[in-house]
Amino acid sequence: MTTKMFGEPIARVEDDRLVRGHGAYLDDLGHDALAAAFVRSPHAHAEVLDIDVTGALEVEGLLAIYTYEDLPDRLAEPLPLLIPHPSLTHGRTQYALARDVVNHVGEPIVMVVARDRYLAEDAAERIIVSYRPLPAVVGIDAARAAEHLVHPDVPGNVAANMMQRVGDVDAALRNAPHVLELDLSIERSASTPMEGRGVLARWDPESHRLRLWTSTQTSTGVRAAVAAKLGLALVDVDVITPDVGGGFGVKIMHPWPEEVLVPWSAQLLGQPVKFVEDRREHFISSAHERAQQHHVRVGFDDEGQLLGLDVRFWHDHGAYIPYGLIVPIITSTQLVGPYKPGAYRVEFDSLYTNTVIVTPYRGAGRPQGVFVMERTMDAIAAELGLDRTVVRERNFIRPDEMPYDHGLVFQDGRPLIYDSGDYPTSLEKLKKLVGWDDFAAVRDAARAEGRRVGIGLACYVEGTGVGPYEGGHVVVEPSGKVKVATGLTSQGQGHQTVFAQIVADELGVPMADIEVVTGDTRRFGYAVGTFASRAAVMSGSAIHLAARAAREKALKVAADALEADPDDLEIVDGIVRVVGVPGAEISLGTVAVLSNPLRYAFDDAAKAATQFAVGDTGKPPVPEDEEPGIEGRDYFSPMQSTFASGMHAVVVETDPDTAEIKILRYCVVHDCGLLINPRIVEGQIHGGVAQGVGGALYERMAYDEAGQLQNASFMDFLMPYVSEVPERIEIDHLETPSPLNPLGIKGAGEAGVIPGAAAFAAAIEDAEGFPITAMPISPSELFELRRLHSKGLST
C-alpha cells in the first residue's frame, strides 16, 4: 500500500540540489551575457536638466547607453497601473527611465550596458546628470500637509480616498457607554529577500523569439507585460523563473523598469543582457511597505462588547502607485479580524511621497490592521479593567456563525465572507500553551526581583488563496514518471514537495517519480502568481483536479487493457491493478504507452501501442471526445478566498536600565485548515515570526527629511540574525477544513508575520505600564518613552 502523502511531514524534494550548491538562481545563469547598470537619482525630487554621457564613452567594454529619449513607442509610455480601482482617481506610474522629473532616490535615469558589471558601473559613474532639486515630500505628515506636491497634477498628494461602512457608526458611537480614541502608527519596512531582483534576456533573431529569465513571483505577468511593451506575440515570449532567493511580496510587482529594458536592449544589441540588482539598489529601487497612520474611535459597552468602530487611516504608497490600492484595502477589511465590530466605518487616503514605491510585503496591510484592532482590544480591556483575553472572547465570531459575512468588499472585489474557523478554541489553545492564566504571578515575581516582564497577544484572520484562478497539468510519461506543471512560481515555499504529495496520493505513484515545474511559461502559460498565501490553495487544488483527471484516464485505458471494470482498479506504487486479483496488473508507464496509439515504434515499450499491435479496427484509434496520452489539465477558480486564522502570544523582558527588549517566549496557534506538510507549514511560521520580530523591534526605512534613505545597507537595516529571534517558537495547530476547495486547505505563507507588531507592543506595554502606540520600537525609543512617562530613569 502506498503511504498517504497528504499530511506527512516529509523532507523536501527541492533540497538535495540546493544543499549541493546546484541551485540555479538568476545570476547563476548567463555567464556570457552583457551586464546592465543604472544611473539612479541621488535626489528625492528633482527636475532632470541634462545628461552628459561623454565621460562614459571612453570606458573599455561599453556597449550602450540609453536614456528616456531612446525609448520607442510603448516603452516610452508610463509603466502599467496593474490594479485599477474606481477609487484610485489619481493613479501615476513611473517611466522605465525617468523623463524629466525624478520622484525618489534610486529612480533609474540612464541604462548602461557593458561587457561586465564592473565596467558598466565604471561607465555609469562617469555619466553626469544635472538636476534642479525640488522640495521633497517625505512621510505621511508632509504628504497630508501638502505644502509641496509630489505630482503637480495630484492635489493634496492624494491618489485615492476610499470608504467602506456597515451600519450607522455615528449613531453607534453616540449611544455607546464607552468611547475611546487612539492614534496608532507603523513605519516602513520591506520584504528584503536574500536575493534581489534580476533579469536575463536572450533574443533569438532567427526565430524572432524572446527568452527571459527573471527572479519574479509571476512569470505569466511578466510575459504579458513584456510582450505588450515590446510589441511581441505572447507565444513568442518565454518567461522562465529560475530558483528564486526569496520574494516575500516584492517580486510580485511587475514589470520592473529593468524587466522591460533588459529584453529591449538584448533585442537591439543582439546579445544576451543581464541585470542583477545589488543590495543598495534593492533598498532604493525595489518596493517597501507598512507605513500607515491610523486614528481609531471605538464604542463599547460595560462588558467590552464592540458597538461601533470608526477607523480613519493614511497610507504612504511612495512616489508611484503601480500596484493600486491592494495594501490599504486589505488593512481596511482584515482589520476586523476574528471580531464582530458592530457598526464599522473605515476610510483611507493613499498618499504620494518622494520615496520608494509601496507594494505588498508578506502580510500586505494585515500587520497594520491587526496592530490597530488588537491595540484597540487591549485599550478596551485596560479601560474596563478586564482581562485582555476576555474582551476578545466576548467579541469573537462563533464557529456556528460561519460562514460569516462582514458586509465589506475584499481585495479581490468579492464579499468578505469568512468560510470557517474556530476562534474560541484557538484562544483556549493559546492561553494553555503560553500559560496565560498563570502569568500575573510570573510578572509579579519578576517585579519583586526588579525585573520587568510582560505578555501580549494578538489575533488575526487572513484571507488566503485569492483568485482569480490557477491551473495544473499532470502527464504520465511512458517511463511511468509523472511530470507536473503549474504556472505560479516558487521562492522557497516547497511547492515541488507539497504538489508532489498531492499528486502522489491521487495517482498512486512514489514521490521519487514525480517532478513538479513551476513558473515556466513554456510548461504552463495560464497563471496569476504567488502571493496572498495562495499557492497551495489555488495550484494545489488545480493540480489535485488535474491529477484526478489523469487518474480517470489511466484507469479507463488500464481497464481496457486488463479487461476489467475501472471501478475495480487501484493504483499502487505506479502499478494499476485489479483489486483482489493477483497478477492482473499493468504499470502506469505501459498505460501511458497504450493511451497514445502509434504508427512508429521507437523502443520495446512503444511496440505495444503500434497500429498492428492494438486497437479495435471497428473504432477510431483515439475515441471520440478523448485525447491521446495520460494527461490531465484543470483549473481551480473558487468563488472567494479562504480565511485562515491564528493567534500569537509573546513574553518579553525589558531591561530597566538599558531598555533592551528580550524575547522570553513566543507561542503560536495557527489554523490553515488541513496541513499538506506540517513541517513545511511550521517552517513558514518560523520565517514569518522572525520577520514579525524584525518588523516589531528592528527593521525600519530611515528616511531623512530630504528623502535620503539613511540605512540602505544590511549594516543599518537591521534584519534579525539568529541572535535576535526567539530560541524556540512554540506552535500548536488547529485544523478547521475550508469547505471552499477539494483539499480543505487554507494558505499559510504570510500568517507568521501578521500579528508580530501587535503582540510585541502589547507585551512591552504590559511590562512597562504605559501605552505603546507606534511600531517598530527600539531600545532608544523605549528609553525616550520611559522619560516621557517619567519612569525608569536609573541614572
Q: How far is the CB of 234 from another protein (least distance, A)?
A: 28
Strands 108-114 and 158-166: unpaired
Q: To the nearest whole angstrom, how small is the minimum distance from the Cβ of residue 240 to another protein?
A: 16
What does each C-alpha distance from 231 to 226, 262, 268, 760 come to in angstroms? Answer: 8, 15, 14, 50
Binding track over 659-698 against another protein, x by CB under 8 A: xx------------------xx-xx-xxxxxxx------x
Phi and psi (nearest 5°) for 373? -70, -45
- Find the binder of another protein among 90, 280, 340, 733 (CB under 8 A): 280
Instruction: Identify the three-state secondary structure at position 130.
Output: strand
- Does 714 interact with another protein (rule: CB under 8 A)? yes
Residues numbered 748 to 777 that lie near another protein (CB under 8 A) are: 752
- Work out whether 303 is an interface residue with another protein (CB under 8 A): no
- Report, in Å, the least distance between residue 693 CB and another protein: 8
The Cα-based distances of 758 to 74, 189, 299, 348 in angstroms read 45, 15, 20, 20
Residue 80 as a binder of another protein (CB under 8 A): the answer is: no
CB 63, min distance to another protein, A: 15
Query: Applying CB under 8 A, which of residues 90, 92, 99, 117 lies at the interface with another protein?
Result: 117
Q: Give the nearer residue to another protein in terms of CB position, either 467 or 756.
A: 756
Site for another protein in 205-244 (CB under 8 A): 243-244
Please check whether residue 764 is in contact with residue 663, taking contact to mean a CB–CB distance below 8 angstroms.
no
Tell me which residues in 118-147 interact with another protein (CB under 8 A).
118, 121-122, 125
Q: How far is the CB of 781 from another protein (least distance, A)?
A: 8
- Minimum Å gap between C-beta 421 and another protein is 25
**Binding of another protein by 747 (CB under 8 A):** no
> Is residue 691 within 8 Å of 682, Cβ to Cβ?
no
In whole angstroms, the minimum distance from the beta carbon of 657 to another protein comes to: 4
Residue 278 binds another protein (CB under 8 A): yes
Q: Which is nearer to another protein, 19 or 448 (CB)?
A: 19
Give the contacts of 53 (CB within 8 A, at least 6 positions apart): 65, 67, 110, 127
To another protein, the closest distance from the beta carbon of 782 in angstroms equals 9
**What's the rounded Cα separation, in Å, for the pair 496 and 520?**
13
Stretch that binds another protein, among 98-106, 146-154, 169-177, 652-660 (CB under 8 A): 652-660
Of 685 and 761, the one with the shorter C-beta distance to another protein is 685
- Between CA 603 and CA 205 the distance in angstroms is 37
DSSP 264-318: HHHHHHTS-EEEE--HHHHHHHS-BB--EEEEEEEEE-TT--EEEEEEEEEEEEE
783 binds another protein (CB under 8 A): yes
Q: Binding to another protein by residue 721, rule CB under 8 A?
A: yes
The phi, psi pair for 461, rounded to 5°, reads: -125, 135
Q: How far apart (Å, rounded) are the C-alpha atoms in residues 681 and 686?
A: 9
Nearest to 10 by CA among 705, 738, 679: 679
Q: To which residue does cell 504620494 refer? A: 352
Our finding on whether 31 is near another protein (CB under 8 A) is yes
711 binds another protein per the rule CB under 8 A? yes
Considering only 91, 106, 139, 193, the residue that binds another protein (CB under 8 A) is 193
In whole angstroms, the minimum distance from the beta carbon of 734 to another protein comes to: 20
Among 15, 401, 552, 573, binds another protein (CB under 8 A): 15
Q: Which three cell numbers stand for residue 771?
A: 501605552
The answer to whether 576 and 594 have CB atoms below 8 angstroms apart is no
Q: Please enumerate in sequence order all residues whose Cβ is within 8 A of that of 581, keeping only pairs 6 or more positions apart, or say none.
A: 564
Residue 454 corresponds to which cell in the numbers above? 510582560
Q: Is there binding between residue 493 and another protein (CB under 8 A)?
A: yes
Which of 713, 739, 769, 791 contacts another protein by CB under 8 A? 713
Amino acid identity, residue 444? D
For residue 194, which of 257, 119, 250 has the smallest C-alpha distance? 250
Question: Minimum CB separation from another protein for residue 577, in Å?
Answer: 33
- With CB under 8 A as the contact rule, the residue among 100, 405, 626, 657 that binds another protein is 657
Check residue 78 for interaction with another protein (CB under 8 A): no
Q: How far separated are the first and last CA of the chain, in Å rounded?
A: 71
The sheet that has 209-214: what strands, in order across it? 62-66, 108-114, 34-40, 273-276, 198-204, 209-214, 237-240
Minimum CB separation from another protein for residue 789, in Å? Answer: 15
Contact call for residue 789 and another protein (CB under 8 A)? no
Interaction between residue 341 and another protein (CB under 8 A): no
Q: Whole-angstrom Cα distance, residue 110 to residue 38?
A: 6
Size (the chain), residues? 795
Q: Which amino acid is at 528?
A: V
What is the biggest distance separating any 2 CA atoms in the chain, rounded to whole angstroms?
99
Please identify, using beta-carbon distances, which residue of 494 and 755 lies nearer to another protein.
494
Residue nearer to another protein on the CB measure, 617 or 723: 723
- Rounded to a whole number of angstroms, the minimum distance from the CB of residue 212 to another protein is 19
Sheet containing 661-671: which strands, arranged edge to edge?
Answer: 452-464, 642-654, 661-671, 730-733
Contacting residue, 24, 128, 440, 581, with another protein by CB under 8 A: 24
Q: Which is nearer to another protein, 588 or 697 (CB)?
A: 697
Q: How many residues bind another protein (CB under 8 A)?
A: 85
Contact 366, 330 (CB under 8 A): yes
Window 58 to 77, contacts with another protein (CB under 8 A): 58-60
Cell numbers given for 49: 536638466
Contact 642, 537 (CB under 8 A): yes
In the set 2, 7, 8, 25, which binds another protein (CB under 8 A)? Answer: 25
Is residue 447 a contact point for another protein (CB under 8 A)?
no
Which amino acid, 517? V
Among residues 471, 494, 508, 646, which is the contact residue for another protein, using CB under 8 A? 494
- Site residues for another protein, 724-743, by CB under 8 A, read 724-725, 727-729
Q: Which is nearer to another protein, 14 or 349 (CB)?
A: 14
- Contact between 488 and another protein per CB under 8 A: no
